Amino acid sequence: MLNARWENLEGLRKYANGIKRLNTEFPKVLPRIVNQVGRRSRTRVVRNLTKQTGLQRRVIVRAVKNVDTAKPGKLLYSLQSRGGFVRLKYFSARETRRGVSAIPFGNRQIFGGTFIMGGLFPHRHVKSWNLDGHVYRRIGNAASRRVTQVRSEVRIPDEMIRGETREAFEHEASVTMPPRVEAVIRKLLT
Protein backbone atom coordinates (compact mmCIF):
# COMPACT_ATOMS: atom_id res chain seq x y z
CA MET A 1 0.00 0.00 0.00
CA LEU A 2 1.18 3.47 -0.82
CA ASN A 3 0.32 6.28 1.54
CA ALA A 4 0.85 9.86 0.39
CA ARG A 5 0.19 13.03 2.36
CA TRP A 6 0.63 16.61 1.38
CA GLU A 7 -0.25 19.77 3.15
CA ASN A 8 0.44 22.27 0.41
CA LEU A 9 0.47 22.58 -3.35
CA GLU A 10 4.20 21.75 -3.53
CA GLY A 11 3.51 18.23 -2.20
CA LEU A 12 0.91 17.72 -4.92
CA ARG A 13 3.36 18.88 -7.63
CA LYS A 14 6.01 16.52 -6.30
CA TYR A 15 3.53 13.65 -6.39
CA ALA A 16 2.49 14.56 -9.96
CA ASN A 17 6.16 14.58 -11.04
CA GLY A 18 6.57 11.16 -9.41
CA ILE A 19 3.61 9.85 -11.44
CA LYS A 20 5.20 11.19 -14.64
CA ARG A 21 8.50 9.49 -13.76
CA LEU A 22 6.61 6.31 -13.00
CA ASN A 23 4.94 6.39 -16.43
CA THR A 24 8.23 6.92 -18.28
CA GLU A 25 10.74 4.84 -16.28
CA PHE A 26 8.68 1.97 -14.87
CA PRO A 27 8.14 0.26 -18.28
CA LYS A 28 11.94 0.18 -18.67
CA VAL A 29 12.68 -1.03 -15.14
CA LEU A 30 10.03 -3.74 -14.84
CA PRO A 31 11.53 -6.05 -17.53
CA ARG A 32 14.88 -5.84 -15.70
CA ILE A 33 13.23 -6.94 -12.48
CA VAL A 34 11.45 -9.82 -14.25
CA ASN A 35 14.75 -10.97 -15.81
CA GLN A 36 16.62 -10.73 -12.48
CA VAL A 37 13.99 -12.80 -10.70
CA GLY A 38 13.88 -15.18 -13.69
CA ARG A 39 17.64 -15.79 -13.54
CA ARG A 40 17.37 -16.34 -9.82
CA SER A 41 14.53 -18.83 -10.31
CA ARG A 42 16.56 -20.68 -12.98
CA THR A 43 19.36 -21.10 -10.46
CA ARG A 44 16.95 -22.53 -7.91
CA VAL A 45 15.33 -24.79 -10.53
CA VAL A 46 18.74 -26.19 -11.53
CA ARG A 47 19.67 -26.75 -7.89
CA ASN A 48 16.41 -28.56 -7.12
CA LEU A 49 16.41 -30.59 -10.34
CA THR A 50 19.90 -31.83 -9.49
CA LYS A 51 18.64 -33.19 -6.17
CA GLN A 52 15.32 -34.40 -7.56
CA THR A 53 16.65 -36.34 -10.57
CA GLY A 54 20.05 -37.51 -9.35
CA LEU A 55 21.76 -36.05 -12.43
CA GLN A 56 24.95 -34.03 -12.22
CA ARG A 57 24.58 -30.27 -12.17
CA ARG A 58 26.38 -29.75 -15.48
CA VAL A 59 23.88 -32.04 -17.24
CA ILE A 60 20.93 -30.08 -15.83
CA VAL A 61 22.52 -26.72 -16.73
CA ARG A 62 22.87 -27.87 -20.35
CA ALA A 63 19.30 -29.19 -20.41
CA VAL A 64 17.42 -26.22 -18.91
CA LYS A 65 17.33 -23.18 -21.20
CA ASN A 66 15.63 -19.84 -20.81
CA VAL A 67 13.65 -19.32 -24.00
CA ASP A 68 12.02 -15.95 -23.45
CA THR A 69 13.31 -12.97 -21.53
CA ALA A 70 11.32 -9.91 -20.59
CA LYS A 71 11.54 -6.69 -22.59
CA PRO A 72 9.38 -3.58 -22.69
CA GLY A 73 5.88 -4.57 -23.71
CA LYS A 74 6.52 -8.28 -23.15
CA LEU A 75 6.87 -9.34 -19.52
CA LEU A 76 7.64 -13.03 -19.96
CA TYR A 77 10.50 -15.17 -18.67
CA SER A 78 10.23 -18.86 -19.43
CA LEU A 79 12.39 -21.93 -18.93
CA GLN A 80 12.34 -24.90 -21.27
CA SER A 81 13.80 -28.37 -21.43
CA ARG A 82 13.33 -30.98 -24.11
CA GLY A 83 14.01 -34.66 -24.38
CA GLY A 84 12.89 -38.10 -23.39
CA PHE A 85 14.00 -40.56 -20.78
CA VAL A 86 17.61 -39.99 -19.76
CA ARG A 87 20.16 -42.74 -20.44
CA LEU A 88 21.65 -44.50 -17.42
CA LYS A 89 25.14 -43.34 -18.42
CA TYR A 90 24.41 -39.93 -16.87
CA PHE A 91 23.60 -41.36 -13.42
CA SER A 92 27.13 -42.36 -12.38
CA ALA A 93 26.72 -45.84 -13.85
CA ARG A 94 29.24 -48.53 -12.92
CA GLU A 95 29.32 -52.19 -13.69
CA THR A 96 28.96 -54.94 -11.08
CA ARG A 97 28.66 -58.72 -11.41
CA ARG A 98 24.86 -58.56 -11.14
CA GLY A 99 24.44 -55.71 -13.64
CA VAL A 100 24.96 -51.98 -13.81
CA SER A 101 24.52 -49.86 -10.71
CA ALA A 102 23.19 -46.30 -11.25
CA ILE A 103 21.56 -43.50 -9.23
CA PRO A 104 18.31 -42.30 -10.88
CA PHE A 105 16.20 -40.09 -8.59
CA GLY A 106 19.14 -40.06 -6.15
CA ASN A 107 18.69 -43.74 -5.16
CA ARG A 108 21.36 -46.24 -6.17
CA GLN A 109 19.89 -49.36 -7.71
CA ILE A 110 21.11 -52.29 -9.79
CA PHE A 111 19.75 -52.91 -13.27
CA GLY A 112 20.12 -56.67 -13.71
CA GLY A 113 21.29 -58.11 -17.03
CA THR A 114 22.85 -54.85 -18.18
CA PHE A 115 26.48 -54.14 -19.05
CA ILE A 116 28.94 -51.42 -20.00
CA MET A 117 31.95 -53.53 -21.04
CA GLY A 118 32.44 -56.96 -22.59
CA GLY A 119 34.21 -60.12 -21.47
CA LEU A 120 33.96 -62.31 -18.37
CA PHE A 121 34.47 -61.09 -14.83
CA PRO A 122 36.94 -60.07 -13.48
CA HIS A 123 38.71 -59.42 -16.82
CA ARG A 124 36.26 -57.00 -18.37
CA HIS A 125 37.35 -54.85 -21.30
CA VAL A 126 35.94 -52.28 -23.69
CA LYS A 127 34.59 -54.00 -26.79
CA SER A 128 36.02 -53.32 -30.24
CA TRP A 129 32.98 -51.13 -30.96
CA ASN A 130 32.94 -48.11 -28.69
CA LEU A 131 30.26 -48.33 -25.99
CA ASP A 132 31.16 -44.81 -24.79
CA GLY A 133 30.12 -45.52 -21.20
CA HIS A 134 26.50 -46.23 -22.14
CA VAL A 135 24.57 -49.01 -20.46
CA TYR A 136 23.26 -51.82 -22.69
CA ARG A 137 20.94 -54.80 -22.43
CA ARG A 138 20.78 -57.74 -24.82
CA ILE A 139 17.66 -58.15 -26.93
CA GLY A 140 16.49 -61.75 -27.00
CA ASN A 141 18.52 -64.57 -25.46
CA ALA A 142 21.89 -64.34 -23.69
CA ALA A 143 23.84 -65.25 -26.85
CA SER A 144 22.19 -62.58 -28.98
CA ARG A 145 24.42 -59.92 -30.51
CA ARG A 146 21.61 -57.36 -30.66
CA VAL A 147 21.71 -54.82 -27.85
CA THR A 148 19.77 -51.72 -26.85
CA GLN A 149 20.65 -48.77 -24.64
CA VAL A 150 19.00 -48.75 -21.25
CA ARG A 151 17.22 -45.60 -20.13
CA SER A 152 15.99 -44.47 -16.74
CA GLU A 153 12.50 -43.33 -15.79
CA VAL A 154 13.72 -39.73 -15.47
CA ARG A 155 12.48 -37.10 -17.95
CA ILE A 156 13.77 -33.60 -17.19
CA PRO A 157 10.70 -31.78 -18.66
CA ASP A 158 8.41 -33.84 -16.42
CA GLU A 159 10.53 -33.25 -13.35
CA MET A 160 10.58 -29.47 -13.94
CA ILE A 161 6.86 -29.23 -13.20
CA ARG A 162 6.86 -31.48 -10.12
CA GLY A 163 7.81 -31.28 -6.48
CA GLU A 164 10.43 -28.94 -5.10
CA THR A 165 11.45 -27.69 -8.53
CA ARG A 166 8.00 -26.32 -9.29
CA GLU A 167 7.71 -24.88 -5.80
CA ALA A 168 11.06 -23.10 -6.20
CA PHE A 169 9.97 -21.42 -9.45
CA GLU A 170 6.59 -20.41 -8.05
CA HIS A 171 8.18 -19.13 -4.84
CA GLU A 172 10.45 -16.78 -6.77
CA ALA A 173 7.56 -15.50 -8.87
CA SER A 174 5.11 -15.00 -6.02
CA VAL A 175 7.33 -14.10 -3.05
CA THR A 176 10.47 -12.43 -4.45
CA MET A 177 9.04 -10.36 -7.28
CA PRO A 178 6.23 -8.33 -5.56
CA PRO A 179 8.49 -6.62 -2.97
CA ARG A 180 11.00 -5.69 -5.67
CA VAL A 181 8.29 -4.17 -7.88
CA GLU A 182 6.81 -2.32 -4.91
CA ALA A 183 10.23 -0.91 -3.96
CA VAL A 184 10.74 0.42 -7.49
CA ILE A 185 7.32 2.05 -7.49
CA ARG A 186 8.03 3.73 -4.16
CA LYS A 187 11.41 4.95 -5.38
CA LEU A 188 9.99 6.40 -8.58
CA LEU A 189 7.13 8.15 -6.78
CA THR A 190 9.39 9.96 -4.30
By C-alpha distance, which of 64, 92, 94 is closest to 168?
Answer: 64
- Residue 20 to residue 91: CA distance in whole angstroms: 56
Q: 107 and 77 share a domain?
A: no
* 174-179 contacts at long range (C-beta below 8 A, 24 or more positions apart): 176/37, 176/40, 176/41, 177/33, 177/34, 177/37
By C-alpha distance, which of 74, 70, 77, 71 is closest to 42?
Answer: 77
Q: 19 and 100 share a domain?
A: no
Three-state SS for 72? Answer: coil
**Structural domain includes residue 3:** no
**Structural domain includes residue 41:** yes
**Structural domain includes residue 2:** no
pLDDT at residue 188 above 90?
no
**How do residues 136-185 score in pLDDT, each as one tens digit?**
888 887 777 788 888 999 999 999 999 899 999 999 889 999 999 999 98
Q: 55 and 109 share a domain?
A: no
Query: What CA dihedral angle connects 106, 136, 120 and 130, to 10 degrees?
Result: -110
Q: 133 and 182 share a domain?
A: no
pLDDT band at 7 (very low <50, low <70, confident <90, very high): low
Whether the model pTM is above 0.75: yes
Q: 78 and 138 share a domain?
A: no
By C-alpha distance, which of 108, 107, 112 is closest to 96?
Answer: 112
Query: Which pLDDT score is estimated for 166?
Result: 92
Q: 162 and 79 share a domain?
A: yes
All residues at 6 or more sequence positions from 146 whose CB lies less than 8 Å from its CB, including other chains: 138, 139, 140
- For 31, the enclosing helix (H) or strand (E) is helix 9-53
Q: 74 and 25 share a domain?
A: yes
**Structural domain includes residue 6:** no
Query: Which pLDDT score is estimated for 72?
Result: 84
**How do residues 74-122 score in pLDDT, each as one tens digit?**
888 889 999 889 999 899 888 888 889 999 998 899 998 888 877 667 7
The tally of domains found in the chain comes to: 2
- Host domain of residue 176: 13-83+155-189
Query: Which pLDDT score is estimated for 50?
Result: 93
Query: Which pLDDT score is estimated for 130?
Result: 63
**How do residues 16-63 score in pLDDT, each as one tens digit?**
877 888 888 888 899 999 999 999 999 999 999 999 999 999 999 999
Q: 133 and 162 share a domain?
A: no
